[in-house]
């Protein structure tokens, strides 16, 4: 039995002073009040980076702000210069930066890198295997490539499946991967309603996305636009249930209602949101409607850091209460990753903690990272 004490802990959605936690076998056994415990230590449920691309850590500062299709074209040009070994090193760099920033869990979208680094990192993690393929006749090949990376879950790591986005994947590919995710009981995620250009492309089949595909020589085959908004399109395909939706920047009231109805979780990436100059995110409407919203850093191609607390600071700066933001970075993040009994400090829940130096709630965003503990094991001390 291991004992962990803190001057202040965020437990059960509220602040508790003087806490002593006992944990064993990767789970919390007891939480009790102890006067004067753990001076100078703040205990949070493990911070979750619910949407990132760690294999793109090498992009740090390389790609400058631009309209999305220009930015994406530049990213693809740069990525084509690298091989799997380069991306594996970039992934390991991203893991190191994440732990240093106090992160205990990550939801990582992976394209080429293998699963070994994250699986062996000690982080609680989902490796979402990203798939692309807009031409309907190529869905099976794209699905087969993605499924080839699936491996057996461990106590802290799970594979996941992630068709990239409605503008880059056919309905056939979405359905195929959703069925496989349900069959294997693994998380399912996608980029959704991220861009104005996405709305136009799904409505008309034209616009900047069509022009980008033509420039890249990508053949959409027999694909035709669904003439629906992205959220309604995925709902009609039957693939929205329990899905994790990255970004969700452009939502109508019916979109929000569908996300709630299908128990989807949204991941907001505030710094990437600012990088692309999107209008105000609908985070408050989502939370008020009962849709969980987690936080993510996205990649270093569009975000200055892999530090979830930077995203938390940005969210607080947009007027969200600190306690709500902490839940977004812990409890709702765990939900986005499909984690059970994770994201809260309570008996029977996972012994995942981010330990910050300080003694007041405000210092959660500014204090030094003292420790990261996952399943009772210290990753940083």
> At the fourth CATH level, which superfamily is domain 1-45+344-381?
Urease, subunit C, domain 1 (2.30.40.10)
Residue 169 φ/ψ, nearest 5 degrees: -135, 140
Q: What is the pLDDT along the chain (381 residues), one digit of tens a residue?
A: 899 999 999 998 999 999 999 999 999 999 999 988 889 999 999 999 999 999 999 999 888 888 998 998 888 888 888 877 888 899 999 999 999 999 999 999 998 767 789 999 999 999 999 999 988 888 899 999 999 888 899 999 999 999 999 999 999 999 999 999 999 999 999 999 999 999 999 999 999 888 887 776 666 777 899 999 999 999 999 999 999 999 999 999 999 999 999 999 999 999 999 999 999 999 999 999 999 999 999 999 999 999 999 999 999 999 999 999 999 999 999 999 999 999 999 999 999 999 999 999 999 999 999 999 999 999 975
Domain ranges across the chain = 1-45+344-381, 47-342
Say if CB 102 and CB 329 are below 8 A apart. Answer: no
Q: How far apart are CA 239 and CA 262, in angstroms?
A: 9
Give me the count of residues in the chain.
381
Which candidate, 105, 64, 97, places its Cα nearest to that of 354? 105
> At the fourth CATH level, which superfamily is domain 47-342?
Metal-dependent hydrolases (3.20.20.140)
Q: How far apart are CA 301 and CA 281, in angstroms?
A: 20
CA dihedral (187, 111, 51, 279) positive or negative: negative
């Amino acid at each position: 039995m291991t004992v962990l004490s803190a001057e202040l802990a965020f437990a059960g959605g509220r602040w508790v002073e003087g806490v002593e936690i006992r944990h064993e076998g990767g789970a919390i056994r007891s939480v009790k009040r102890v006067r004067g415990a753990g001076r100078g230590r703040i205990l949070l449920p493990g911070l979750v980076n619910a949407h990132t691309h760690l294999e793109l850590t090498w992009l740090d500062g390389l790609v400058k702000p631009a309209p999305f299709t220009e930015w994406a074209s530049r990213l693809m040009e740069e990525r084509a210069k690298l091989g799997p070994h380069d991306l594996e090193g970039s992934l390991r760099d991203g893991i190191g930066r994440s732990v240093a920033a106090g992160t205990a869990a990550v939801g990582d979208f992976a394209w080429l890198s293998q699963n070994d680094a994250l699986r062996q990192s000690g982080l609680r993690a989902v490796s979402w295997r990203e798939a692309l393929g807009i031409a309907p006749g190529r869905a099976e090949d794209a699905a087969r490539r993605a499924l080839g990376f699936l491996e057996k879950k461990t106590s802290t790591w799970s594979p996941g499946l992630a068709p990239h986005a409605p503008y880059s994947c056919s309905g056939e590919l979405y359905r195929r991967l959703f069925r496989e995710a349900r069959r294997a009981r693994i998380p399912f995620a996608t980029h959704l309603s991220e861009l104005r250009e996405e709305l136009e492309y799904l409505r008309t089949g034209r616009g900047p996305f069509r022009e980008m595909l033509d420039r890249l020589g990508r053949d959409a085959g027999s694909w035709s636009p669904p003439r629906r908004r992205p959220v309604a399109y995925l709902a009609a395909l039957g693939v929205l249930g329990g899905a994790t939706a990255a970004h969700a920047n452009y939502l109508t009231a019916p979109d929000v209602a569908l996300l709630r109805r299908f128990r989807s979780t949204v991941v907001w990436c505030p710094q990437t949101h600012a990088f692309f100059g999107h209008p105000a995110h609908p985070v408050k409407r989502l939370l008020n409607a009962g849709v969980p919203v987690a936080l993510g850093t996205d990649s270093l191609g569009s975000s200055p850091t892999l530090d979830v607390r930077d995203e938390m600071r940005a969210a607080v700066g947009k007027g969200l209460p600190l306690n709500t933001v902490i839940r977004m970075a812990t409890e709702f993040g765990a939900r986005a990753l499909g984690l059970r009994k994770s994201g809260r400090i309570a008996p029977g829940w996972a012994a995942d903690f981010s330990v910050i130096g300080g003694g007041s709630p405000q210092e959660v965003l500014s204090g030094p990272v003292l420790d990261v503990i996952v399943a009772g094991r210290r990753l940083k001390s």
